[in-house]
Structure 1
Amino acid sequence: MTYHPKSDFMHVMMERGFLADCTDYQGLDDALMSGPQTAYIGYDATAKSLHVGHLLNIMMLRWYQKCGHKPITLMGGGTTKVGDPSFRSDERPLLDGAAIDANIAGMKKVFDRYLAYDDSAAGALMLNNAEWLDALNYLDFLRDIGRHFSVNRMLSFESVKSRLDREQSLSFLEFNYMILQAYDFLELNRRYGCLLQMGGSDQWGNIVNGIDLTRRVADHEIFGLTTPLLTTSDGRKMGKSAGGAIWLNGDMLSPYEFWQFWRNTTDADVGRFLKLYTELPVEECDRLAALEGSEINAAKIRLANEVTTLLHGAEAAQAAEATAREVFEKGGVGDDLPTLTLTAEELGDGISIVQLIVRTGLAKSGKEAKRLIAENGARLDDAPLSDSGLMIDAAALAAPLKLSAGKKRHALVQLQG
């Protein structure tokens, strides 16, 4: 479909590749042209940190605010108690209130880096849906809200259908999730005049439900907009790496490792990621993406620096680049590598190299560490490591040891002084 947007926000979304679908392009564009509007994205509190998979939507909220509109980050203190079944093969583990609150506190740290929460017309709001969901009376809710939902239609949504088609159990608890998310949109529209819900394309059914409910109950015209579900050029889900999730909180993944994730982007993804995850002008993104041969590495470093600066600050990005140069170009150790510090008690008479590889996070298990060594993928102080039975004692740790998994993942082991 070819649509030529008038509003700044819709122009950015289409030009930079954020847009997968919209319930009404023209209607939303006109609304955004009429003055500042409010939009939200919901985040369930299933972990203590957001990860790279959330970054696309966070950047979308950031652009929304930069274009003069008001973003809401809705924390799912209520919906997390139910769990979103969308495109999942099993039920999420249920968390108690204390765990949910702790997760929300961890997630807030990231939003503060990307959005300005203040009292201005475009000042962001952080809300928690537990505020209205926890107080619901079940019978009143069924009568006032539940009657607007057709079970036949709910069963037709791809997120539910895919689970049932595979004959995987879908609990009644999870089945309620889409009703609660729809109710969130109605409640935000009533309380804050919220006009737009945004999310990944896997949320399309949930978003449409909220639009239908709000039309029926409040007779208000509201909109939905989704982003593409990103995969890397080699088919992997964005944000997944061999080492696990790419967390956004610095205490769960160091700024250096975050920087390195972006530096390792495949050539084919550089241009697309520059447009989505940085604020560089589109022309500059295209210029960098067109670099060839070894010059594309300069574009990858620019990508890593820009994304890391937004999340962790310019100093962290510069330190990460300096460490990378030290490690890769000069074969040195670098100051900013992930570091495991052992006490004399932990070390005892010695500790196995396999244990060290696991404890530094270079492998998830002893079995994986042994396989890494057997396949010549491990190095100790840049020398090939072939003995999985090697023991490291205090003498070996007189100076920090550098462990490597493949060419791009490194960590230091040192003895507490």
Structure 2
Amino acid sequence: MTNALLEDLAWRGLLYQQTDAEGMEKLLNEQSVSLYCGVDPTADSMHIGHIVPLLTLRRFQKAGHKPVLLVGGATGMVGDPSGRSEERQLQTVEQIDKNVQGLKKQFERLFDFGSDAANTASLVNNYDWIGKMSLIEFLRDYGKLVNVNYLLGKDTIASRLDTGISFTEFTYTIIQGIDFNHLYDNHNVRIQVGGSDQWGNITTGLEVIRKTHEEEAKAFGITIPLVTKADGTKFGKSASGAVWLDAQKTSPYEFYQFWINAADADVIKYLKIFTFLTREEIEALEVGVQEEAHLRKAQKALAEEMTRLIHGEEGLEQAIRITAALFSGDLKALSVEEMKVAFAGVPSVEVAKEDKNIVELIVEAGISSSKRQAREDVTNGAISINGEKITDLEYVVNSKDRLEDAFTIVRRGKKKYHMVKFLG
């Protein structure tokens, strides 16, 4: 019997590798299961590239299965060689603890924790069992299970042999295998979900489970394909860098803008991978892309769904408010804090904090190329200060125009914004 969840995952393009597709489908048809995905605390926030396996795990929860979220307090101290050409910089225990706390908050956005339902999510930290293990226990109980030749066959290790890999990172895949085995025994976990770069680690876990259990162990692995853009450029990067889930690193407005600027060639794929919209809803949006692409309904749906998921209704409302204000030029609708968010990436210049004639200011700030051009820009109504159009050549920019007595937003024309920062 076909499993509806697996059928939906296949339609969304979320099934890449499975250790035993037939066996896993049979298991899912027979019962609700526990399954896990791990994230190492290499930073205090995830970025959008991290969340595809997690969102896939959330789909399992919505289908009645129980997600176990593993934060790698121990593996984060070791460093995963996956996808790297050199050793990771080891982090302090204090930094890892701080990162763990940041990740916990983001997990709580994505999953249903703490309810009485059988499929409520749980959070574990592998430091709780790896941290108690002595070196002798590690070598005798687990090192003996995994042949060196087996490890050398792993892509993540083989790809590092020319440039060098420390014994520390060499052991990473075994430690992750211990994790899967521990969760199998103590949390009844039967499936591990990960990105395509985690295939080697997942299969090591299955090897450890197989060798530590006398009965036939029913455990499975599934990986999610790497998300790519149609034009070949890297997914998950904006002009300012990685798109983070932490609002302090990537504001809800910037987050919203990343998704709403998705290309027509990518937007339907992203709707399938990242959102929980139904097949019918996504297919209707796909027709819209084909027949009325200029309306960008699919991009708006993607941006709204993702911003609401990560930043809640309040974050979405702020993002839409800033977007509308910038489109219309009505900056008066924004608070000072929203102004800072909206114009964080625009060109900025520093000038002395003193009252200054509008013409002199925009020339000094490089907004207009000359005094003649500046006078022409002002009289033609091309200059606005904090959303107010200025046409008076004698206008003086003073303390009332300095937001927080520190900066002023100057617009020239319809779309060219500048932030003038006042020093002194």
Name the SS for the 2:118 alignment partner. coil
Q: Which of 196, 201, 205 is residue 201 of structure 1 equivalent to?
A: 196
Q: In 2 relative to 1, CA 271–403 (structure 1 residues): closer, same or farther, beyond 3 Å?
A: farther
Q: Which of 329, 332, 354 is residue 331 of structure 1 equivalent to?
A: 329
Q: Map 1:61-210 to 2 at 5 A.
A: 61-118=57-114, 119-164=116-161, 167-210=162-205
Matched, 1:401 2:404: no
- How far apart in 2 are the matches of 1:408 and 1:160? 50
- How far apart in 2 are the matches of 1:409 and 1:230? 33
Q: Which of 2, 5, 9 is residue 5 of structure 2 equivalent to?
A: 9
- Conserved in 2, the CA contact under 8 Å of 1:44 and 1:80? yes
- How far apart in 2 are the matches of 1:413 and 1:157? 54
- Conserved in 2, the CA contact under 8 Å of 1:38 and 1:72? yes
Runs of 4+ aligned structure 1 residues displaced above 2 Å come to: 5-9, 292-296, 331-337, 347-351, 379-382, 393-404, 407-416
- Could you tell me how far 1:395 is from its partner in structure 2? 6.3
- Conserved in 2, the CA contact under 8 Å of 1:87 and 1:160? no
Matched, 1:301 2:300: yes
RMSD: 3.0
- Conserved in 2, the CA contact under 8 Å of 1:41 and 1:198? yes
- How far apart in 2 are the matches of 1:132 and 1:186? 11
Name the SS for the 1:305 alignment partner. helix
- How far apart in 2 are the matches of 1:275 and 1:411? 38
Q: In 2 relative to 1, CA 37–411 (structure 1 residues): closer, same or farther, beyond 3 Å?
A: farther
Q: In 2 relative to 1, CA 256–8 (structure 1 residues): closer, same or farther, beyond 3 Å?
A: same
Letter in 1 for 2:171: N
Q: In 2 relative to 1, CA 395–20 (structure 1 residues): closer, same or farther, beyond 3 Å?
A: same
- How far apart in 2 are the matches of 1:411 and 1:348? 13
- Conserved in 2, the CA contact under 8 Å of 1:278 and 1:306? yes
Name the SS for the 2:296 alignment partner. helix
- Could you tell me how far 1:153 is from its partner in structure 2? 1.8
Match of 2:312 in 1: 313
- Conserved in 1, the CA contact under 8 Å of 2:322 and 2:342? no
Q: TM-score scaled to structure 2, two decimals?
A: 0.80
- How far apart in 1 are the matches of 2:329 and 2:260? 17
- CA displacement, residues 105-130 of structure 1 (integer Å, 9 cap, x when unaligned): 11111111111112421010100000
- CA displacement, residues 268-296 of structure 1 (integer Å, 9 cap, x when unaligned): 01101111111111122122123245435
Q: In 2 relative to 1, CA 74–350 (structure 1 residues): closer, same or farther, beyond 3 Å?
A: same
- CA displacement, residues 187-229 of structure 1 (integer Å, 9 cap, x when unaligned): 1101111100000001001100101110111241200000001
Q: In 2 relative to 1, CA 381–248 (structure 1 residues): closer, same or farther, beyond 3 Å?
A: farther
- CA displacement, residues 61-101 of structure 1 (integer Å, 9 cap, x when unaligned): 21111000000110000000100011201111111111111
- CA displacement, residues 325-344 of structure 1 (integer Å, 9 cap, x when unaligned): 2212x133362351689xxx
- How far apart in 2 are the matches of 1:117 and 1:411? 44
Q: In 2 relative to 1, CA 46–22 (structure 1 residues): closer, same or farther, beyond 3 Å?
A: same
Q: In 2 relative to 1, CA 314–308 (structure 1 residues): closer, same or farther, beyond 3 Å?
A: same
Match of 1:349 in 2: 352
- How far apart in 2 are the matches of 1:42 and 1:184? 9
Q: Which of 239, 244, 254 is residue 242 of structure 1 equivalent to?
A: 239
Match of 1:22 in 2: 18
- How far apart in 1 are the matches of 2:415 and 2:79? 36
- Could you tell me how far 1:298 is from its partner in structure 2? 2.0
- How far apart in 1 are the matches of 2:419 and 2:304? 23
Please identify the structure whose Cα radius of gyration is greater: 2
Identity, in percent, stands at 37
- Could you tell me how far 1:241 is from its partner in structure 2? 2.1
- How far apart in 1 are the matches of 2:384 and 2:237? 27
- How far apart in 2 are the matches of 1:403 and 1:143? 68
- Could you tell me how far 1:411 is from its partner in structure 2? 8.4
Letter in 1 for 2:166: S
Letter in 1 for 2:84: R
Structure 2, gaps ≥5 residues long: 345-349, 355-365, 370-381, 386-396
Q: Which of 219, 227, 236 is residue 222 of structure 1 equivalent to?
A: 219
Q: Tell me the number of residue pairs that the alignment of Structure 1 and Structure 2 aligns.
A: 368
- How far apart in 2 are the matches of 1:178 and 1:322? 46
Q: In 2 relative to 1, CA 36–202 (structure 1 residues): closer, same or farther, beyond 3 Å?
A: same
- How far apart in 2 are the matches of 1:203 and 1:58? 13
- How far apart in 1 are the matches of 2:53 and 2:277? 17
Q: In 2 relative to 1, CA 55–38 (structure 1 residues): closer, same or farther, beyond 3 Å?
A: same
- Conserved in 1, the CA contact under 8 Å of 2:351 and 2:421? no
Letter in 2 for 1:331: G
- Could you tell me how far 1:181 is from its partner in structure 2? 0.4
Name the SS for the 1:39 alignment partner. strand
Q: TM-score scaled to structure 1, two decimals?
A: 0.81
Name the SS for the 2:136 alignment partner. helix
